[in-house]
Amino acid sequence: MSNILESVLSTILVDMINAQNQANIRSAQLAEEYVGQNKTVELLQFFDVPSANIKSFDFELKFGLESTGSPIGKKMSNKLSELISHSLQEFVQACMEKYKLPIGSDEELKKFIGYQWKGGSKKSAGLSFEHDPKIINDSNKFIITLKKNIKSLTDSELFLDEKERAPGLKAILNVSDLNSYNGDMLCSINVKAEIAGMKAGFADKTEGEGSEKETKRKIFLVGS
Protein backbone atom coordinates (compact mmCIF):
# COMPACT_ATOMS: atom_id res chain seq x y z
CA MET A 1 0.00 0.00 0.00
CA SER A 2 2.74 2.38 0.98
CA ASN A 3 6.24 2.33 2.36
CA ILE A 4 5.01 3.88 5.61
CA LEU A 5 2.34 1.24 6.20
CA GLU A 6 4.72 -1.57 5.27
CA SER A 7 7.26 -0.19 7.72
CA VAL A 8 4.73 -0.06 10.57
CA LEU A 9 3.49 -3.60 10.00
CA SER A 10 6.97 -5.06 9.60
CA THR A 11 8.11 -3.28 12.77
CA ILE A 12 5.23 -4.76 14.76
CA LEU A 13 5.87 -8.26 13.43
CA VAL A 14 9.62 -8.02 14.06
CA ASP A 15 8.92 -6.82 17.61
CA MET A 16 6.71 -9.88 18.12
CA ILE A 17 9.54 -12.17 17.01
CA ASN A 18 12.01 -10.33 19.24
CA ALA A 19 9.62 -10.63 22.18
CA GLN A 20 9.30 -14.37 21.59
CA ASN A 21 13.08 -14.63 21.31
CA GLN A 22 13.60 -12.90 24.65
CA ALA A 23 11.03 -15.22 26.22
CA ASN A 24 12.87 -18.24 24.79
CA ILE A 25 16.22 -16.99 26.08
CA ARG A 26 14.80 -16.53 29.57
CA SER A 27 13.26 -20.03 29.51
CA ALA A 28 16.63 -21.48 28.44
CA GLN A 29 18.33 -19.67 31.33
CA LEU A 30 15.76 -21.03 33.76
CA ALA A 31 16.25 -24.55 32.40
CA GLU A 32 19.91 -24.32 33.42
CA GLU A 33 18.82 -23.27 36.91
CA TYR A 34 16.26 -26.08 37.10
CA VAL A 35 18.27 -29.06 35.88
CA GLY A 36 21.79 -27.76 35.19
CA GLN A 37 24.83 -28.85 37.16
CA ASN A 38 24.97 -25.48 38.90
CA LYS A 39 21.36 -25.48 40.04
CA THR A 40 20.91 -23.85 43.43
CA VAL A 41 17.50 -25.23 44.39
CA GLU A 42 17.30 -29.03 44.10
CA LEU A 43 13.53 -29.21 44.12
CA LEU A 44 13.29 -27.09 40.95
CA GLN A 45 14.28 -30.14 38.88
CA PHE A 46 10.81 -31.54 39.48
CA PHE A 47 9.01 -28.46 38.17
CA ASP A 48 8.17 -27.58 34.59
CA VAL A 49 10.40 -24.90 33.13
CA PRO A 50 8.11 -21.86 32.62
CA SER A 51 7.87 -20.68 29.05
CA ALA A 52 5.61 -18.40 27.07
CA ASN A 53 4.66 -18.83 23.41
CA ILE A 54 2.95 -16.20 21.33
CA LYS A 55 0.25 -18.13 19.50
CA SER A 56 -1.55 -15.16 17.99
CA PHE A 57 -1.64 -11.42 18.26
CA ASP A 58 -4.56 -9.24 17.15
CA PHE A 59 -4.32 -5.52 16.59
CA GLU A 60 -6.24 -2.83 14.73
CA LEU A 61 -4.27 -0.25 12.80
CA LYS A 62 -6.07 2.99 11.99
CA PHE A 63 -4.83 5.21 9.18
CA GLY A 64 -5.93 7.72 6.58
CA LEU A 65 -5.15 7.79 2.87
CA GLU A 66 -4.21 10.69 0.67
CA SER A 67 -3.36 10.78 -3.00
CA THR A 68 0.25 11.21 -4.03
CA GLY A 69 1.51 12.52 -7.31
CA SER A 70 -0.38 13.50 -10.39
CA PRO A 71 -2.74 11.03 -12.13
CA ILE A 72 -0.65 11.69 -15.25
CA GLY A 73 3.05 11.92 -15.72
CA LYS A 74 5.03 15.15 -15.63
CA LYS A 75 5.77 15.08 -19.36
CA MET A 76 2.10 14.60 -20.27
CA SER A 77 1.01 17.17 -17.69
CA ASN A 78 3.30 19.77 -19.27
CA LYS A 79 2.01 18.99 -22.74
CA LEU A 80 -1.61 19.33 -21.66
CA SER A 81 -0.91 22.58 -19.83
CA GLU A 82 0.81 23.96 -22.92
CA LEU A 83 -2.04 22.85 -25.20
CA ILE A 84 -4.74 24.39 -22.99
CA SER A 85 -2.84 27.61 -22.35
CA HIS A 86 -1.95 28.15 -26.02
CA SER A 87 -5.46 27.29 -27.26
CA LEU A 88 -7.12 29.53 -24.67
CA GLN A 89 -4.84 32.46 -25.48
CA GLU A 90 -5.53 32.11 -29.21
CA PHE A 91 -9.30 31.95 -28.67
CA VAL A 92 -9.38 34.93 -26.31
CA GLN A 93 -7.29 37.01 -28.71
CA ALA A 94 -9.58 36.06 -31.60
CA CYS A 95 -12.67 37.08 -29.58
CA MET A 96 -11.08 40.37 -28.57
CA GLU A 97 -10.51 41.23 -32.23
CA LYS A 98 -13.77 39.74 -33.56
CA TYR A 99 -16.06 41.53 -31.12
CA LYS A 100 -13.79 44.54 -30.55
CA LEU A 101 -13.84 44.00 -26.81
CA PRO A 102 -12.33 46.68 -24.58
CA ILE A 103 -8.79 46.32 -23.25
CA GLY A 104 -8.76 44.30 -20.03
CA SER A 105 -11.67 42.10 -21.05
CA ASP A 106 -9.37 39.15 -21.73
CA GLU A 107 -9.13 38.09 -18.08
CA GLU A 108 -12.87 38.18 -17.57
CA LEU A 109 -13.34 36.24 -20.81
CA LYS A 110 -10.99 33.55 -19.49
CA LYS A 111 -13.05 33.34 -16.31
CA PHE A 112 -16.19 33.03 -18.39
CA ILE A 113 -14.72 30.17 -20.43
CA GLY A 114 -13.78 28.42 -17.19
CA TYR A 115 -17.36 28.94 -16.04
CA GLN A 116 -18.64 27.41 -19.28
CA TRP A 117 -16.13 24.55 -19.08
CA LYS A 118 -17.69 23.50 -15.77
CA GLY A 119 -21.10 23.42 -17.41
CA GLY A 120 -22.22 26.89 -16.38
CA SER A 121 -24.85 27.37 -13.73
CA LYS A 122 -28.46 28.44 -13.48
CA LYS A 123 -27.27 30.98 -10.98
CA SER A 124 -25.63 34.08 -12.46
CA ALA A 125 -21.85 34.17 -12.11
CA GLY A 126 -21.79 37.95 -12.43
CA LEU A 127 -19.77 37.84 -15.68
CA SER A 128 -20.61 40.31 -18.44
CA PHE A 129 -20.40 37.65 -21.18
CA GLU A 130 -22.87 35.15 -19.74
CA HIS A 131 -25.78 36.86 -21.49
CA ASP A 132 -24.07 37.36 -24.85
CA PRO A 133 -25.37 34.57 -27.15
CA LYS A 134 -22.60 35.00 -29.74
CA ILE A 135 -19.75 34.67 -27.25
CA ILE A 136 -21.58 31.85 -25.46
CA ASN A 137 -21.89 29.99 -28.76
CA ASP A 138 -18.24 30.60 -29.69
CA SER A 139 -16.96 29.57 -26.25
CA ASN A 140 -18.99 26.36 -26.31
CA LYS A 141 -17.56 25.48 -29.73
CA PHE A 142 -14.06 26.26 -28.45
CA ILE A 143 -14.54 24.01 -25.41
CA ILE A 144 -15.79 21.12 -27.57
CA THR A 145 -12.80 21.48 -29.89
CA LEU A 146 -10.35 21.74 -26.99
CA LYS A 147 -11.72 18.60 -25.35
CA LYS A 148 -11.31 16.73 -28.63
CA ASN A 149 -7.71 17.95 -28.94
CA ILE A 150 -6.99 16.87 -25.35
CA LYS A 151 -8.43 13.43 -26.04
CA SER A 152 -6.39 13.11 -29.25
CA LEU A 153 -3.21 13.99 -27.36
CA THR A 154 -3.83 11.60 -24.48
CA ASP A 155 -4.88 8.81 -26.84
CA SER A 156 -1.73 9.16 -28.92
CA GLU A 157 0.77 9.19 -26.07
CA LEU A 158 1.38 7.36 -22.80
CA PHE A 159 0.35 9.11 -19.59
CA LEU A 160 3.55 7.96 -17.89
CA ASP A 161 6.91 7.39 -19.50
CA GLU A 162 9.16 4.49 -18.52
CA LYS A 163 11.08 6.50 -15.91
CA GLU A 164 8.04 7.85 -14.13
CA ARG A 165 6.51 6.06 -11.19
CA ALA A 166 2.79 5.54 -11.21
CA PRO A 167 0.99 7.64 -8.59
CA GLY A 168 -0.77 5.99 -5.73
CA LEU A 169 -1.90 6.46 -2.16
CA LYS A 170 0.07 7.38 0.91
CA ALA A 171 -0.90 6.15 4.35
CA ILE A 172 -1.25 8.80 7.06
CA LEU A 173 -0.48 7.38 10.49
CA ASN A 174 0.53 10.46 12.46
CA VAL A 175 -1.97 10.92 15.30
CA SER A 176 -2.11 14.70 14.94
CA ASP A 177 -2.86 14.37 11.21
CA LEU A 178 -5.52 11.72 11.82
CA ASN A 179 -7.38 14.09 14.17
CA SER A 180 -8.47 16.06 11.10
CA TYR A 181 -10.14 12.96 9.61
CA ASN A 182 -13.72 12.13 10.43
CA GLY A 183 -14.87 8.59 11.07
CA ASP A 184 -15.98 8.04 7.49
CA MET A 185 -12.55 8.92 6.10
CA LEU A 186 -10.53 6.79 8.50
CA CYS A 187 -9.41 3.36 7.38
CA SER A 188 -8.40 0.46 9.54
CA ILE A 189 -7.08 -3.03 9.10
CA ASN A 190 -7.27 -5.87 11.58
CA VAL A 191 -4.16 -8.01 11.65
CA LYS A 192 -3.95 -11.39 13.30
CA ALA A 193 -0.34 -12.51 13.49
CA GLU A 194 0.79 -15.90 14.70
CA ILE A 195 4.31 -17.11 15.43
CA ALA A 196 4.95 -20.60 14.16
CA GLY A 197 7.50 -22.42 16.28
CA MET A 198 10.27 -24.26 14.45
CA LYS A 199 12.91 -26.64 15.75
CA ALA A 200 16.54 -25.80 15.12
CA GLY A 201 18.72 -28.67 13.97
CA PHE A 202 22.27 -29.03 12.75
CA ALA A 203 24.55 -31.27 10.76
CA ASP A 204 28.32 -31.35 11.26
CA LYS A 205 30.30 -31.78 8.07
CA THR A 206 34.06 -32.35 7.95
CA GLU A 207 35.94 -30.92 5.01
CA GLY A 208 39.59 -31.13 3.96
CA GLU A 209 42.25 -33.77 4.63
CA GLY A 210 44.81 -34.45 7.34
CA SER A 211 45.67 -31.45 9.48
CA GLU A 212 43.60 -29.30 7.17
CA LYS A 213 40.39 -30.97 8.23
CA GLU A 214 37.75 -28.53 9.35
CA THR A 215 34.34 -29.25 10.79
CA LYS A 216 31.57 -26.92 9.82
CA ARG A 217 28.13 -26.91 11.35
CA LYS A 218 25.14 -26.20 9.18
CA ILE A 219 22.05 -24.97 10.95
CA PHE A 220 18.56 -25.72 9.66
CA LEU A 221 14.99 -25.20 10.86
CA VAL A 222 12.14 -27.67 10.70
CA GLY A 223 8.49 -27.21 11.55
CA SER A 224 7.36 -28.46 14.93
State pTM to two decimals: 0.46
pLDDT of residue 79: 87
Percent of the chain topping pLDDT 70: 81
Cα–Cα distance for residue pair 175/62, rounded to 1 Å: 10
Q: Which of 71-80, 96-105, 210-219 has the lowest mean pLDDT?
A: 71-80
> Across all residues in the chain, what is the average pLDDT?
81
**Does position 1 have pLDDT exceeding 50, yes or no?**
no
Cα–Cα distance for residue pair 116/8, rounded to 1 Å: 47
pLDDT of residue 195: 84
pLDDT of residue 95: 93
Q: Is 210 exposed, middle or buried (0-12, 13-18, 19+ CB in 10 A)?
A: exposed
Which residue would you say has higher pLDDT here, 91 or 222?
Answer: 91
